[in-house]
């Protein structure tokens, strides 16, 4: 029998609901602010000449021989990235402080911050914010000779995965203040902040540099090889407008 | 015993950058080519479509599978799209595998493509980097070759390998691709070289991110691929002699940020402290072990049990890392394993005779399907017909492995194919 032909059961009036008892909030839940008003706005500090225009048809190309058409389309989008419960980290970047998180139960410490513990048996224990010492050591690294459009001009650069202040994780960021062929595994590094007026609340507000007193080892065949690989990259970058 | 699932036909378009073919036409072409091999296969057989497409950025088109689907005339047929980074193709195969295994469907089409030539190479690199954690690595200037290089650098040091060892995989796969006229290497740069690529060519190519040079990296491509995942009953009846059985399937996951896997409890409790660090592909090992278990392959006999493999050589270094993750070699013998060219044509386990991502190309959504189709060609003896010669044909291969790989090893699938 089709469901449509079934007679709907008679409805009894629903009893008036009891006022809901005040529920205890599970401390593992992340609070959600009802409303956020930003009173310290820097909306256009770094905007430059970037305009949001959506679809913009820049032109077209036609092949008479192959009868093929190509459209030049530009599209852009301004995003409103809300850091929400990660805001403590972003505020720290603006203030020149490095904040990570730590599980109050197992003690594991994280940067980049994890807002819940990663151990399954901790059942999403919320972590606490902890201020980190702005130092660590290089876990691994590479010398970039090519990158995305926004990073081409600073090639070649060293991207290092650094374990900061005893964290259980490593953070990737640029290692400066060293020739690209000189970094070493396990070398000690320090956090160096961008000038205050250039900070944007993002990971690039800081970079790593060798810890004070660290000196690179002497040139060796591998360093020579990397230097040789970097030479044309330096030349190529000079040709960029 | 639950029913067996088969791959019963498939094809890929040429892969290239640029190439002039819209996604719906790519898939239409692949279906037509599949029908040449499997004349019994009609569009009306398709009960479910699983689409495989990675980045809507490249086409500036959300839900592009809707365009392809109705273009094929398949309105009413259920469909969805799988997106799982570089492992999109492998994950789409996995979804189709589950759907046939469950008994819900007998014939499923898996169709994938990518149109990476819609943007410049450096913009494309940045688009793909949006599949890393954009709040951290991507902002710091990272793109995938850089993340992989950081992992490869430590792997190289800890396993006593050299740049030249990695370069062997780059040379092998590109030179295999010369035998495949659909491959991007053959269609493009090979036309200038007209000779085998050498280790020296790789060593002299431009620095991407140490220790990786340009020829250690895969290609950015436009291309599409299609295959049929069916019940054994359908395959026997309609694709006799032209199907393989999927005897093993594994899918596993790891962290998005490579730096988060140094001490991850989920791994350390499974494989011990210090694993995978940033050097090993734990999700490859786990999904490989799951596929081996399903197919009844003992890990330490995996090398002997597999006759041919199509694996995700996004980078020469990752191909070598995959050898280890799949138990083909270990820290003690990895150098000899690589230097003895065990994975070259004529070696005991030829890898990527189809050209792989470095030779054939890497239009992300199509890639895993292309790998599966190339492996299927080997096990159904279609390779000599599909390739330019029999040079890249692994004769009498009975068991094949297909591997698809995403992120920094963030999602990885492995499949075991066997002749029926």
pLDDT tens-digit series, residues B151-165: 999 999 999 999 999
Q: In this predicted structure, what is the pLDDT of residue A8?
A: 60
Mean pLDDT of all residues in B236-247: 98
Q: Is residue A7 over pLDDT 80?
A: no
- Answer whether B207 sits within 8 Å of A233, measured CB to CB: yes
- Answer whether B143 sits within 8 Å of A141, measured CB to CB: no
State the CB neighbour count (10 A cutoff) for residue B385: 11
Residue with tokens 């470095």: B358
- Answer whether B266 sits within 8 Å of A118, measured CB to CB: yes
How far is the C-alpha of B6 from the C-alpha of B417, rounded, in Å? 9
Q: In this predicted structure, what is the pLDDT of residue A92?
A: 98
- Answer whether A229 sits within 8 Å of B207, measured CB to CB: yes
Mean pLDDT of all residues in B170-195: 97
Give residues 118 to 137 of A whose Cβ lies within 8 Å of B. Answer: 118-120
- Answer whether A172 sits within 8 Å of B137, measured CB to CB: yes
Phi, psi of B371 (to 5 degrees): -60, -45
**Which DSSP state fits B132?**
S
How far is the C-alpha of A87 from the C-alpha of B130, rounded, in Å? 21
Measured torsion, CA atoms of residues B89, B95, B97, B101, in degrees rounded to the nearest 10? 180
Sign for the CA dihedral angle at B367, B280, A148, A90 comes to positive
Take residue B298 and report the two structure tokens written for it: 């003992």
Q: In this predicted structure, what is the pLDDT of residue B303?
A: 98
Give residues 4 to 33 of A whose Cβ lies within 8 Å of B. Answer: none
How far is the C-alpha of A61 from the C-alpha of B261, rounded, in Å? 47
Q: Which of B129, B136, B141 would best serve as a mutation to test chain A binding (most A beta carbons within 10 A)?
A: B141
Which residues of B fall within a CB distance of 8 Å from A139? 154, 259, 262, 278
Mean pLDDT of all residues in A175-184: 98
Q: In this predicted structure, what is the pLDDT of residue B208?
A: 97
Burial (Cβ within 10 Å: 0-12, 13-18, ≥19) of residue B230? buried
- Answer whether A112 sits within 8 Å of B154, measured CB to CB: no
- Per-residue pLDDT band at A48 (split at 50, 70, 90): confident
Q: In this predicted structure, what is the pLDDT of residue A148?
A: 83
pLDDT tens-digit series, residues B366-416: 999 999 999 999 999 999 999 999 999 999 999 999 999 999 999 999 999
Mean pLDDT of all residues in B81-87: 97
Query: Which residues have CB under 8 Å from B119's CB, separation 6+?
Result: B57, B58, B127
- Per-residue pLDDT band at A1 (split at 50, 70, 90): very low
A86 interface with B at CB cutoff 8 Å: yes
Take residue B176 and report the two structure tokens written for it: 């295999």
Give CA separation, A195 vs A98, A151, A198, B146, B295, in Å: 15, 19, 5, 27, 59
Which residues of A fall within a CB distance of 8 Å from B133? 112
Give the gyration radius of chain B's Cα atoms. Answer: 20
Tell me whether strands B48-52 and B79-82 are parallel, antiparallel or unpaired: parallel
How far is the C-alpha of A204 from the C-alpha of B209, rounded, in Å? 20
A102 interface with B at CB cutoff 8 Å: no
Mean pLDDT of all residues in B156-181: 98
- Answer whether A148 sits within 8 Å of B157, measured CB to CB: no
Contacts across the A-B interface (CB distance below 8 Å) = 142
| Closest CB to A145 among B151, B157, B207 | B207
Q: Is residue A76 over pLDDT 80?
A: yes
Q: In this predicted structure, what is the pLDDT of residue A5?
A: 52
pLDDT tens-digit series, residues B268-278: 999 999 999 99
User: What is the end-to-end Cα distance of chain A in Å, rounded?
Assistant: 74
User: Which residue in B has a C-alpha nearest to residue A202's C-alpha?
Assistant: B135
- Per-residue pLDDT band at B264 (split at 50, 70, 90): very high
Give this complex's ipTM. 0.95
pLDDT tens-digit series, residues B113-155: 999 999 988 888 888 999 999 999 888 888 999 999 999 999 9
Mean pLDDT of chain B: 97
Residue with tokens 């800890």: B158
Q: Which of B121, B260, B407 would best serve as a mutation to test chain A binding (most A beta carbons within 10 A)?
A: B260
Q: In this predicted structure, what is the pLDDT of residue A55?
A: 86
- Per-residue pLDDT band at A47 (split at 50, 70, 90): confident
Give residues 42 to 61 of A whose Cβ lies within 8 Å of B. Answer: none
Q: In this predicted structure, what is the pLDDT of residue A2?
A: 47
How much of chain A, in percent, has pLDDT values that exceed 70? Answer: 94
Sign for the CA dihedral angle at B7, B9, B15, B18 comes to negative
Mean pLDDT of all residues in B288-315: 98
| Closest CB to B135 among A75, A203, A233 | A203
Q: Is residue B351 over pLDDT 80?
A: yes
Q: In this predicted structure, what is the pLDDT of residue B367?
A: 98
Q: Are the CB atoms for B414 and B207 separated by under 8 Å?
A: no
Give residues 184 to 223 of A whose Cβ lies within 8 Å of B. Answer: 185, 202-204
- Answer whether B146 sits within 8 Å of A147, measured CB to CB: yes
- Answer whether A112 sits within 8 Å of B123, measured CB to CB: no
Q: In this predicted structure, what is the pLDDT of residue B185?
A: 98
* Max Cα–Cα distance, chain A, nearest Å: 89
Mean pLDDT of all residues in A50-77: 91
Q: In this predicted structure, what is the pLDDT of residue A3?
A: 47
Which residues of A fall within a CB distance of 8 Å from B209? 142-146, 159
Q: Which of B55, B135, B210 would best serve as a mutation to test chain A binding (most A beta carbons within 10 A)?
A: B210
How far is the C-alpha of B17 from the C-alpha of A102, rounded, in Å? 47
Query: Which residues have CB under 8 Å from B330's CB, separation 6+?
Result: B324
pLDDT tens-digit series, residues B88-102: 999 999 999 999 999
| Closest CB to B126 among A75, A81, A148 | A148
- Answer whether A120 sits within 8 Å of B266, measured CB to CB: yes
- B81 dihedral zone (left: phi>0; alpha: psi -120 to 50; beta): beta
Q: In this predicted structure, what is the pLDDT of residue B308?
A: 98
Chain centroid to Cα A45, Å, comes to 20
Tell me whether strands A171-175 and A135-144 are parallel, antiparallel or unpaired: unpaired
When mean pLDDT is compared across A17-21, A104-108, A139-143, B255-259, the lowest value belongs to A17-21
Q: How many residues does chain B have?
A: 420
- Choices 3.40.50.300, 3.90.800.10, 3.40.47.10, 3.40.190.10: CATH for B1-420: 3.40.47.10
Task: Locate the DSSP E strands across B333-395.
Answer: none
User: Which residue in B has a C-alpha nearest to residue A201's C-alpha?
Assistant: B135
Q: Is residue A44 over pLDDT 70?
A: yes
| Closest CB to B20 among A68, A169, A229 | A68
- Answer whether A148 sits within 8 Å of B149, measured CB to CB: no
| Closest CB to B153 among A142, A150, A232 | A142
Helix, strand, coil % (nearest 5) of chain A? 20, 25, 55
| Closest CB to A159 among B20, B126, B146 | B146
């Amino acid at each position: 029998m089709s469901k449509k032909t079934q007679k709907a059961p008679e409805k009894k009036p629903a009893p008036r609901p009891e006022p809901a008892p005040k529920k205890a909030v599970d401390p593992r839940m992340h609070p959600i602010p009802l409303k956020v008003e930003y009173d310290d706005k820097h909306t256009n500090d770094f905007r430059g000449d970037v305009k949001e225009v959506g679809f913009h048809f820049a032109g077209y190309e036609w092949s008479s021989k192959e009868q093929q058409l190509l459209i030049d389309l530009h599209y852009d989008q301004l995003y409103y990235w809300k850091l929400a419960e990660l805001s403590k980290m972003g505020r720290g970047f603006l203030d020149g402080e490095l904040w990570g998180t730590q599980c109050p139960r197992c003690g594991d410490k994280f940067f980049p911050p994890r807002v819940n513990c990663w151990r399954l048996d901790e059942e999403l224990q919320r972590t606490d914010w902890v201020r980190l010492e702005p130092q660590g050591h290089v876990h691994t690294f590479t010398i970039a000779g090519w990158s995305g459009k926004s990073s081409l001009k600073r090639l070649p650069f060293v991207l290092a995965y650094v374990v900061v202040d005893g964290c259980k994780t490593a953070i990737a960021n640029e290692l400066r203040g060293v020739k690209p062929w000189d970094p070493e595994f396990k070398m000690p590094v320090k956090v160096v902040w961008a000038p205050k007026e250039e900070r944007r609340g993002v990971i690039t507000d800081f970079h790593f540099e060798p810890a004070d007193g660290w000196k690179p080892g002497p040139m060796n065949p591998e360093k020579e090889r990397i230097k040789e690989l970097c030479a044309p990259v330096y030349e190529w970058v000079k040709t960029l407008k | 015993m639950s029913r067996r699932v088969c791959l019963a036909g498939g094809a890929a378009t040429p892969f290239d950058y640029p190439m002039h073919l819209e996604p719906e036409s790519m898939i239409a072409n692949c279906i037509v080519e599949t029908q040449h091999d499997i004349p019994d296969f009609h569009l009306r057989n398709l009960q479910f479509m699983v689409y495989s497409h990675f980045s809507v950025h490249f086409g500036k088109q959300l839900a592009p599978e809707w365009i392809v689907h109705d273009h094929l005339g398949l309105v009413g047929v259920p469909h969805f799209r799988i997106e799982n980074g570089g492992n999109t193709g492998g994950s789409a195969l996995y979804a189709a595998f589950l759907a046939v295994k469950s008994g819900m469907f007998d014939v499923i089409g898996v169709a994938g493509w990518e149109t990476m030539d819609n943007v410049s190479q450096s913009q494309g690199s940045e688009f793909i980097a949006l599949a890393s954690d954009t709040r951290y690595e991507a902002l710091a200037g990272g793109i995938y070759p850089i993340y992989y290089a950081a992992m490869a650098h430590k792997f190289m040091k800890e396993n006593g390998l050299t740049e030249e060892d990695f370069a062997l995989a780059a040379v092998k796969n590109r030179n295999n691709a010369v035998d495949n006229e659909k491959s991007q290497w053959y269609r493009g740069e090979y036309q200038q070289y007209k000779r085998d690529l050498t280790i020296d060519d790789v060593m002299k190519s431009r620095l991407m991110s140490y220790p990786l040079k340009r020829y250690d990296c895969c290609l950015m491509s436009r291309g599409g691929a299609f295959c049929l995942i069916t019940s054994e009953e359908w395959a026997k009846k309609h694709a006799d002699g032209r199907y393989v059985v999927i005897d093993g399937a594994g899918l596993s996951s790891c962290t998005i940020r490579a730096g988060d896997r140094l001490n991850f409890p989920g791994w350390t409790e499974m494989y011990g402290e210090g694993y995978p660090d940033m050097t090993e592909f734990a999700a490859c090992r786990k999904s490989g072990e799951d596929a081996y278990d399903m197919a009844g392959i003992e890990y330490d006999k995996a090398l002997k049990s597999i006759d041919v493999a199509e694996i995700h050589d996004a980078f020469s270094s990752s191909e070598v890392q995959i050898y280890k993750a799949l138990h083909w070699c270990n820290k003690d013998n990895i150098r000899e394993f690589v230097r003895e060219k065990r994975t070259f044509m004529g070696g005991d386990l030829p890898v990527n005779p189809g050209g792989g991502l470095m030779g054939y190309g890497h239009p992300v959504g199509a890639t895993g399907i292309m790998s599966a189709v190339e492996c299927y060609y080997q096990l159904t003896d279609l390779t000599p017909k599909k390739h330019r010669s029999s040079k890249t044909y692994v004769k009498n291969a009975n068991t094949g492995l297909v591997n698809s790989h995403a992120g920094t090893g963030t999602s990885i699938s492995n499949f075991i194919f066997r002749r029926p």
